[in-house]
């Protein structure tokens, strides 16, 4: 199934935004975290709900740091009007062209999504631009890639990983430059998108774990059978040319 929306605010407002074809990603400083602890100078944890297909609220206490890892914890606790609570982590700054990288282990289970992506949109005063890695819990031997430009997606690509992403840590990265996005898994190029219709606006780095609702054809129905966790070892951004 094609993903209909990522952010409720973006879904409502993106149609009112006109993409500036001349928008250029500014020069950005490198950003790296080994996730030993929370760094509020560069990162923040969410406390809200995205609504729509996201059947959880985000709460800061569901993002935990221990033994050099950050864990997003999904539990059966009501928050922000949703029946489940999970964690979302994002960079404070929007970042331009460069290489975005994470080492992570995904959650397994029907109805779940473990993510690593970049995003900006109307809530930031921008058109909706986004670049995705999404590991669907129904089949963690694959990863779904996608991008959105001014709210238009429908660029999904499902990649066979050759391993189970829920069993161990692997490195997922994409290189974003003007007119091209290259996605890599463990250093191997797995997909390339080219053309003038790619994202052009600086974006925040984001990771989250969530259960879906009303998207069973895409994710399969979610049934809670205990705490679910997506675990992150590090997140790294290297600006273009560095």
Token pair of 197 as six digits = 């219709």
Radius of gyration over every alpha carbon of the chain, rounded to an integer in angstroms: 17
Cα dihedral value 129, 133, 139, 142, nearest 10:
120
Contact criterion met (CB below 8 Å) for 148 and 5: no
Contact criterion met (CB below 8 Å) for 142 and 160: yes
3-state SS, residue 135: strand
What lies within 8 Å, CB to CB, of 112 at 6+ separation is 74, 136, 137, 138, 209, 210, 211, 212, 219, 222, 228
* Whole-angstrom distance, CA of residue 149 vs CA of residue 140: 27
Q: What is the pLDDT of residue 23?
A: 58
Q: What is the pLDDT of residue 27?
A: 72
Sheet of strand 43-45, all strands in order from the earlier edge strand to the far edge: 43-45, 88-91, 204-211, 112-120, 129-136, 142-148, 157-160
Which residues are part of the catalytic machinery? 130, 134
Q: What is the pLDDT of residue 28?
A: 87
Q: What is the pLDDT of residue 240?
A: 94
Specify the pTM.
0.90
Smallest CA-to-CA distance from 109 within 232, 219, 233 is with 219
Q: What is the pLDDT of residue 75?
A: 98
Per-run averaged pLDDT (10 residues), the chain, 242 residues = 41 35 66 96 97 96 98 98 98 97 98 98 94 98 98 96 98 98 98 96 98 98 98 98 84
How many CB atoms neighbour CB 108 within 10 A? 20
DSSP string for 73-108:
EEBS--BTTBSEEE-EEEESS-B-SEEEEEEEE---
Q: What is the pLDDT of residue 24?
A: 53
Torsional sign, CA 76, 138, 121, 11 = negative
Reported as type and span, the H/E element at residue 65 is strand 63-66
What is each CA distance from 3 to 76, 216, 240, in whole angstroms?
A: 24, 12, 29
- 105: β partners: 231
Reported residue count of the chain is 242
């Amino acid at each position: 199934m094609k993903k209909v929306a990522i952010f409720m605010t973006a879904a409502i407002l993106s149609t009112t935004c006109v993409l500036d074809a001349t928008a250029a990603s500014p020069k950005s400083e490198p950003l790296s975290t080994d996730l030993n602890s929370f760094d509020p100078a560069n990162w923040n944890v969410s406390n809200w709900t995205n609504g729509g297909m996201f059947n959880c609220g985000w709460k800061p206490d569901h993002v935990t740091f221990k033994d050099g890892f950050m864990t997003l914890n999904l539990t059966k606790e009501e928050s922000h009007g949703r029946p489940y609570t999970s964690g979302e982590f994002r960079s404070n700054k929007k970042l331009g062209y460069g290489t975005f990288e994470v080492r992570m282990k995904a959650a397994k289970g029907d109805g779940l999504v473990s993510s690593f992506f970049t995003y900006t949109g109307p809530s930031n005063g921008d058109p909706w631009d986004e670049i995705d890695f999404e590991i669907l819990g129904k089949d963690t031997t694959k990863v779904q890639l996608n991008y959105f430009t001014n709210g238009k997606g429908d660029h999904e690509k499902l990649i066979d990983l050759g391993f189970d992403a829920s069993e161990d840590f692997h490195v997922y990265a994409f290189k974003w430059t003007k007119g091209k996005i290259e996605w890599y898994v463990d250093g191997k190029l797995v997909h390339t998108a080219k053309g003038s219709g790619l994202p052009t606006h600086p974006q925040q780095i984001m990771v989250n774990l969530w259960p879906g609702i009303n998207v069973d054809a895409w994710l399969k129905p979610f049934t809670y059978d205990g705490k679910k966790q997506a675990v992150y070892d590090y997140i790294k951004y290297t600006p273009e040319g560095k």
